[in-house]
Amino acid sequence: MVKEQIIQLALWAACGAVALGVLAEWLHARRVARLGRLAFGPDAKARFWTVLAPPLSVAAFGGAVWSLVILLAFEGASRMHDRSAAATRQLMVMLDVSPSMEIKDAGAGGTQSRRNRAAVLLKSVMERANSDQTKISMACFYSDAMLLCKECSDRELIWNFADNLPLHIAFKPGKTSLLKSLNTAGGFVKDFPRKSVTFLVLTDGDSVAASGLNLLPSAVADFLIVGVGSSSRGTFLDSHQSRQDGAGLTQLARRLGGNYFDGNSKQIPSGLLRQLIAPDTRADTFQVNLRTFACGLLAVCTAILCLLPLLLEWFGSGWKPVASNSKPEANQ
């Protein structure tokens, strides 16, 4: 927000503008007094409402200067700052980047890699999330979880992480540890406001352990595990058959009070993202902040400064000089 020093500077600038306006109106009044008969006819008087023109002009000049100084103080970046301050929803994405995610058995035809299918599902979720009210944090996991970004507004950056980046090379080779990764990721969101986080896990569910799970922080409102990959046809990888473990993921989701959805061929239903995509009730309340007030004041003041000369020209005096139609006789 604008600091108090800027507001004081705007007040001083407005006072200076008012002083200049008073001086200009005084000089103009002296000139009008000398040329009154030429401007207003034999009575040398304008219409009674014109006495309001000088104070209105001075006040509008001062108000316009104050508004401009206030708006310049925002430096164009405050709109994004206000959006950041207004964000009340968080989306925490955990993306499985283990080698098994490269297996091509996902999608409606079973020809899409699990990694690409997870990216398509993530993009669909981001398109439905309100961009002004939701911040996205993202972590990838294999043998453990690694935070990629926190409270990000750039959807393209999130999409770039999911779009075939070889993130698995950042981890030591080993078994996929979903539970360990969930425990680590819980620390990424523990400082967020209570019940503000939608926790989304995109994985094929490989090597899900039966114990060692910690409870999620109170910041998590909705927890959703989305499985990718075929659950009926396995692919031999690393001395075992790799396929989506729907039963294990369902049990894991229930232990954390969340939901499991098989996203191998279907998009995630909006009902499972109810908090993330729900309309913000604050949007129905009109709030006037300093920028809104300055914009409104600037519009009113500039309208007065632009329209007042026209009103004075058209309605300032009842006397209108009439040009003579007679032509001087030509010299014989």
Domain ranges of the chain: 4-80+287-315, 89-279
Assess contact for 224 and 122: CB atoms under 8 A: no
pLDDT score recorded for residue 200: 95
Greatest CA separation found in the chain?
Answer: 123
pLDDT score recorded for residue 248: 85
Distances (CA, A) of 274 to 89, 198, 280: 12, 9, 12
pLDDT score recorded for residue 75: 57
Cα 15 to Cα 62: distance, rounded to the nearest angstrom: 7
Query: pTM, whole model, 2 decimals?
Result: 0.60
pLDDT score recorded for residue 322: 63
pLDDT score recorded for residue 223: 94
CB atoms closer than 10 angstroms to residue 51: 9
| Non-local CB neighbours of 226 within 8 Å, separated by 6+ positions | 118, 121, 200, 201, 202, 203, 260, 261, 262, 263, 268
CATH pick for 89-279 out of 1.10.490.10, 3.90.1150.10, 3.40.50.410, 3.40.1550.20: 3.40.50.410
List of the chain residues with pLDDT < 70? 1-3, 39, 41, 43-44, 75-87, 130-132, 206-210, 234, 236, 238-241, 279-288, 318-332
DSSP H helices, 109-177, are 114-128, 155-162
Beta strand extents in 64-116 (DSSP E only) = 89-96, 104-106, 112-113
